[in-house]
Amino acid sequence: MSAHPRHGLDEAFQTPVRLSLMAMLPAGSMIDFITLRDTLEASDSVLSKAVSQLQDRGYVKVTKGYEGTRPRTWVESTAAGRRAYRAHLAALRAIVADYPPEG
Amino acid sequence: MSDAPIPADAAALLAAHDRTVVAQRPPAPSRALIRFRIWSAACAAAYVVTIMLIATTPNPGSSVNTTLVPVAAFILASALATETEQRFAVRRRARAIVPIALGLVAAAFVVIFWGTRTPAPLWAAALFGVAAFVALALPEWRRLRSTRPADDTRDTPWRNRPLSPETRLITWGMAAYLGMLLVLLRFDGGAEGQPLVFLALYGPLIFLTFVPRWGLRRLGAEWGPLHWAAFGVGLVAIMVVAPMTHAGLPGSDIACIGAGIAVFLLLGLCAQLPLRGSSGDPIRPAR
């Protein structure tokens, strides 16, 4: 008997913000905090918390910098983060595979 | 996992994910950043050609500054490029494999010609420069073709605007530094004068790189195409005059001093442009 796909889910991506955040960070891309916030339509605090949680697990890397003298923050995914995200996405797709469509 | 989502929750999470992917596909850097990277590729290729020509041209009478000056100019341009990239909201990490491969090939080239005591032919160095430029710029060129104008809206528009007073002052300092580098190509202070040369070469560079309030950070954030063009002229002058001086070509003395003064005046003039009150919002002085 094969394991249920839910075992492949990663708790780090259980909120829409964290899941969507990873979707915006393909390999090699560094995106600044403001762009992430505006695209995800999240508040500073919600996004900041999501980034911290993913950072704690080693799924994203945060880089501080400056535009002139104004501080800026960039976020990028790590290889471990992308692996975990792909596995989580596959598990989600497996779970919904037999879900009947609307109507 | 104790609270695994039921299929409906999983479907909702996937829908949120797909909405994000559609809204941001692909998270591309702006075309201004890509053009800037092509400019940087040209700069790196020119630098490699310069160093190859200098390293393979034996000229015992020449000053050591013909090697040190291009190195200082390249460090300056690289540090400035790093600071400038911070003005862009979305960046792609450049792959290190191409610059490493180019560096190894250039080193082999230098060793071969240096070992055989024959100056590298200009055409061979130029050919390598073109190949280096293509290898570095081609990925960016492909990216440029796949980006859309909408990708540019995330960044502050890159256009000529009056510089803040502090940045004007730093730009004048940069003009003086580039001018001095050109003049230093002809300076030979002997063993006693060399510490002074090192101080003149690398002192301003260290100051500009490591003093945030008065450094390259401001230039990277505020310079427009006009200032970059003038800075590019200064770099080209160094990359052309350094091998000329190293080879002891006639007229190189005049070229060093003339180019030094011209570059100083050009970049200094550009520091004042566009004039305050001209079109374009003045840049808000950074705190």
Residue by residue, DSSP assigns A8-53 as G--GGG-SHHHHHHHHT--TTEEEEHHHHHHHHT--HHHHHHHHHH
A99 contacts in B (CB within 8 Å)?
A: 7-8, 10-11
Is A99 or B184 the better-scoring residue by pLDDT?
B184
Asked which of A38-52, B21-35, B156-170 is least confident by mean pLDDT, the reply is: B21-35
Q: Is the pLDDT of residue B47 over 60?
A: yes
The predicted pLDDT at position B286 comes to 42
* Distant-in-sequence, close-in-space partners of B105: CB < 8 Å, separation ≥ 6: B128
State the DSSP H helix or E strand holding residue B97, giving kind and residue range, or none if neither: helix B97-115
Q: Is the pLDDT of residue A51 over 90?
A: yes
A25 and B5: CB-CB below 8 Å?
no
Most distant CA pair in chain B, distance: 82
Per-residue CA distances from A38 to A43, B75, B115, B199, B201 (Å)? 9, 36, 58, 47, 44
Band of residue B244 on the pLDDT scale cut at 50, 70, 90: confident
Minimal CA separation from B136 to chain A, in Å: 16
Would an 8 Å CB–CB cutoff place A78 in contact with chain B? no
What distance in Å separates the CA atoms of residue B83 and residue B217, rounded to the nearest whole number?
5
What distance in Å separates the CA atoms of residue B34 and residue B41, rounded to the nearest whole number?
11
Neighbours of A97 (CB within 10 A): 10
Would an 8 Å CB–CB cutoff place A100 in contact with chain B? no
Minimal CA separation from B158 to chain A, in Å: 13
A30 and B7: CB-CB below 8 Å?
no
The arithmetic mean of pLDDT across residues B91-111, rounded, is 75
Band of residue A102 on the pLDDT scale cut at 50, 70, 90: low
What distance in Å separates the CA atoms of residue B84 and residue B228, rounded to the nearest whole number?
11
H helices of B5-64, in order, are: 7-23, 31-56
Q: What percent of chain B has pLDDT over 90?
A: 13
The predicted pLDDT at position B186 comes to 80
The predicted pLDDT at position B236 comes to 92
What's the mean per-residue pLDDT of chain B? Answer: 80
Stretch 36-55 of chain A: residues touching chain B, C-beta under 8 Å:
39-40
What distance in Å separates the CA atoms of residue B282 and residue B126, rounded to the nearest whole number?
41
B286 and A70: CB-CB below 8 Å?
yes
Band of residue B237 on the pLDDT scale cut at 50, 70, 90: very high
The predicted pLDDT at position B27 comes to 62
Q: Is the pLDDT of residue B102 over 70?
A: yes
What's the mean per-residue pLDDT of chain A? Answer: 86
The predicted pLDDT at position B126 comes to 85
Most confident of B37-41, B65-69, B123-127, B157-161: B37-41
Place of tokens 């040190």: B68
What distance in Å separates the CA atoms of residue A60 and residue A76, rounded to the nearest whole number?
6
User: Can you give the pTM of this predicted structure?
Assistant: 0.77
B26 and A26: CB-CB below 8 Å?
yes
Most confident of B91-95, B109-113, B177-181: B177-181
| Tokens at B29, concatenated | 């850097």
The predicted pLDDT at position B63 comes to 67
- Give the model confidence (pLDDT) of B205-232 as tens digits: 888 888 777 778 888 888 888 999 999 9
Sheet holding A60-67, edge to edge: A60-67, A70-77, A29-32, B90-92
The predicted pLDDT at position B285 comes to 44
The predicted pLDDT at position B279 comes to 53
B16 contacts in A (CB within 8 Å)?
A: 16, 19-20
Per-residue CA distances from B136 to B74, B101, B129, B145 (Å)? 16, 11, 11, 16
Interface predicted TM-score of the whole assembly (ipTM), two decimals: 0.73
Cis status of the peptide bond prior to B121, with omega within 30 of 0? no
The predicted pLDDT at position A75 comes to 94
